[in-house]
């Protein structure tokens, strides 16, 4: 039973990879039919397709944290902060400082993640 399912999963993964490569190739061909907007951001819509160009921006968090106090309020407003769980430290707290763990846990919602399935043999 498991051998059949893993064989089907391999086929599905191959079909998925092939479909993704095809989709990306076609998207590239469509995009080449249009001129990218000045500045790299914008969109174009015609009867059959809408293309949106975006620019991904990343932040050097350590650098921003180090220079935070030297930034003016307007410059600081260009950044949003999102707390993330440091799982290594959280697990250590559970064993080493149960009071601190309990404080932190009040702000954390835990829910089961989708199981990861890795095919081991090709």
Give the C-alpha separation, 122 to 119, whole Å. 8
Written as six digits, the tokens of 79 are: 């950044």
Q: Do residues 63 and 76 touch, judged by C-beta distance below 8 A? A: no
pLDDT mean over 9-33: 97
- Classify residue 48 by its DSSP letter: S
pLDDT in tens, 55-93: 999 999 999 999 999 999 999 999 998 899 999 999 999
pLDDT tops 80 at residue 104: yes
Which band of pLDDT confidence, cut at 50, 70 and 90, is reported for residue 121?
confident
Give the C-alpha separation, 48 to 45, whole Å. 8
How much is the pTM? 0.70
What is the rounded average pLDDT for all residues in the chain?
Answer: 94
């Amino acid at each position: 039973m498991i051998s059949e399912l893993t064989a089907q999963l391999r086929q599905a993964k191959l079909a998925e990879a092939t479909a993704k490569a095809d989709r990306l190739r076609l998207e590239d061909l469509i995009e080449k039919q249009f001129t990218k907007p000045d500045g790299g951001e914008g969109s174009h819509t015609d009867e059959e397709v809408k293309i949106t160009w975006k620019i991904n921006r990343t932040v050097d968090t350590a650098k921003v944290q180090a220079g935070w106090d030297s930034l003016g309020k307007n410059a600081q407003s260009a950044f949003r902060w999102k707390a993330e769980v440091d799982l290594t430290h959280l697990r250590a707290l559970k064993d080493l400082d149960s009071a601190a763990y309990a404080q932190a846990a009040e702000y954390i919602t835990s829910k089961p993640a989708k199981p990861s399935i890795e095919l081991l043999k090709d």
